[in-house]
Amino acid sequence: MQFWLWVEPGMVNPDSNLFRAHPDWVLATGGRLPPAGRQQQVLDLGHPPMYGYLLSRLDAPLTDYDIGYLKWDHNRDVVDAGAAGPGRRDRAGVHAQTLAVYRLLDELRARHPGLEIETCASGGARVDLEILQRTDRVWTSDCNDALERQPIQRWTGLFVPPELLGTHVGAPTSHTTGRTQSLPFRAATALFGHQGLEWDVSTAPAADQDAVAGGVAFVRQHRETLHGGRTVQAARADPAAWVHGVVAVDRSRAVYAFVHLTSSAYRTPEPSRLPGLDPDRSYRVEPAYPAGVPAGAQRTPARWLAEGAVTLPGRVLGTVGLPAPVLFPEQALLLVVTAV
């Protein structure tokens, strides 16, 4: 494991030595401070003395210690903020702030070439093409509830590939929503991204610890596909269930998830089509249970599930699909697909 440091370098608490010594280093309008947020004000990185001070403060621990990773946060919104120093226009101040953030990231990475940086920013608040040129991962949302994460990751994934998408297996009960979800669902949700653990697994039962180990092993086994393939999503009439996955560039293998979000109005689920495969090749489709079996309401599973695998042409899988299982809400079934 590597040591990482969580920083929020653009903020200052007014009850601090820095603010008392340099109140002019804060973004302000006409000498008037904006309303405080989170007991914070925003430092004006476009102000050269402020920029130089902050660069030195970040560079020092990176030089003195073996820090491999910075989680770069920005929780305080920039509102009603101008610029430090006399004679500077408000709009120019905010624009200069943005450019200074890019410059600061560039300088730190030039000084420390192996450093990885996550753009956190209260979840996904700072995700754009410029910031992605300078960071290695996006923290998608501070909400780690797997049900909430499904649409968050689905739509962020239209812009950000899985290998840059921060996803974590959280504790059984989400700290942001109070929902309690099964480990297979949480693990399957976090699988399609830069997966990590946000859970003190030493407090988990032995069975859950084994399941976490199985999930981690599954990620390692399929990382080349998950972090090097093409993201695909199947069109479905039923909004209660989604099918999505990642297909290798040469279409020789893929990993999919059939996700049941809520109760469905359909008595029988529509077939699950698997998009992105080569229509002229045959594929073996196998269910995978790295962190446990998803819970369902179906007494007799579909034949292909009961037998543990099925081999079909990519054309059939992509246009007709497979009979979908009847799962309970907040459950997911993983599928591993291999060309034969």
**CA 41/CA 49 separation, integer angstroms:** 17
Q: How far apart are CA 31 and CA 28, in angstroms?
A: 6
**How many Cα atoms sit within 13 Å of 92 on the Cβ side?**
7
Annotated catalytic residue 280: no
CA–CA separation, 25 and 103 (whole Å):
18
The answer to whether the beta carbons of residues 2 and 68 sit under 8 Å apart is: yes
Helix (H, G, I), strand (E, B) or coil at 170: strand
Q: Is the dihedral of CA 232, 234, 239, 240 positive or negative?
A: negative
- Could you say which of 142, 208, 238, 278 is catalytic? 142
Reply yes or no on whether 145 is catalytic.
Answer: no
**Residue 66 per-residue DSSP state:** -
End-to-end CA distance of the chain: 37
State the burial class of residue 15 (Cβ atoms within 10 Å of its Cβ: 0-12, 13-18, 19+). exposed
Q: Give the residue numbers marked as catalytic.
A: 73, 142
